[in-house]
């Protein structure tokens, strides 16, 4: 399985500022027809503040953006999973993350038999030294998250260009519209 992440998604996630609490959002994109590749085309901005050791990523604040992306892409862009931060901790799945992957994989309402999560390791406070790193993991009903190698791309299918750019909080990098080249 090959994972492609659009450069604007990577830029947004790398630009999440240091905070003492977790934040997160949804990952949107699509699977190749033969399921050999998955393409992350969008990440919703963080909509809620969590605790230093967890965040609840509900549909509130994200489902409206998902609906916009679904409609604008004629159903190509769908829910792939979520992204969230680990302030002051490495980008490895916790037991809670593993449980969330199982819930996404087995829950009828999610429709994600192989969900994807991105964990963004950030400094806990703005004055702390440290770089931002991202780990991407695929999960399934068996519960073990599998690390996935990322290929950053600037190319997207033309049908995705109709999806509006979303406003991200101050401090998060925002690059222009995606390039219209095909993958």
CA gap 111, 65 in Å, rounded = 17
Distance CA 149, CA 4 (A): 9
CA dihedral 59, 159, 45, 155 (to 10 degrees): 140
Higher pLDDT, 13 or 56: 13
Question: 134, 117 in Cβ contact below 8 A?
Answer: no
**Residues facing residue 41 across a β-bridge:** none
- What pTM did the predictor assign? 0.87
- More confident call, 122 vs 175: 122
The answer for residues whose C-beta is within 8 angstroms of residue 85's C-beta and 6 or more apart is 16, 19, 22, 23, 24, 55, 119, 120, 121, 122
What does each C-alpha distance from 106 to 12, 114, 143 come to in angstroms?
A: 29, 9, 10
pLDDT at 58 over 80: no
59 closest CA partner among 25, 34, 31, 97: 25
Structure tokens at 137: 């993991």
Share of the chain above pLDDT 90, in %: 42
pLDDT digits (tens, 9 = 90+) for 114-148: 899 999 999 998 888 888 999 999 987 676 789 99
CATH architecture of the domain with residue range 2-162 = 3-Layer(aba) Sandwich (3.40)
pLDDT-based confidence at residue 171 (cuts at 50, 70, 90): low
All structural domains of the chain with their residue ranges: 2-162
Q: What is the pLDDT of residues 66-121, one digit of tens each?
A: 888 888 888 889 999 999 999 999 999 999 999 888 888 887 777 788 899 999 99
CA Rg value for the chain = 15
**CA distance linking residue 146 with residue 162, whole number of Å:** 32
Q: What was the pLDDT predicted at 66?
A: 82
What is the pLDDT confidence band of residue 172, given thresholds at 50, 70 and 90?
A: low
């Amino acid at each position: 399985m090959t994972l492609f992440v659009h450069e604007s998604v990577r830029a947004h996630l790398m630009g999440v500022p240091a905070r003492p609490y977790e934040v997160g959002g949804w990952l949107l994109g699509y699977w190749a027809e033969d399921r050999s590749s998955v393409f992350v085309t969008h990440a919703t901005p963080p909509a809620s503040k969590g605790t230093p050791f967890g965040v609840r990523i509900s549909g509130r604040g994200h489902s409206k953006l998902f609906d916009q992306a679904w409609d604008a892409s004629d159903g190509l862009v769908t829910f792939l999973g979520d992204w969230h931060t680990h302030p002051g901790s490495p980008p490895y799945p916790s037991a809670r993350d593993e449980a969330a992957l199982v819930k996404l994989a087995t829950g009828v309402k999610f429709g994600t038999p192989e969900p994807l999560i991105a964990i963004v390791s950030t400094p806990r406070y703005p004055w702390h030294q440290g770089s931002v790193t991202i780990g991407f993991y695929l999960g399934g009903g068996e519960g073990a998250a599998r690390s996935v190698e990322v290929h950053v791309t600037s190319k997207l299918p033309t049908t995705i260009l109709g999806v509006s750019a979303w406003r991200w909080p101050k401090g998060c990098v925002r690059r222009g519209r995606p390039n219209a080249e095909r993958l």
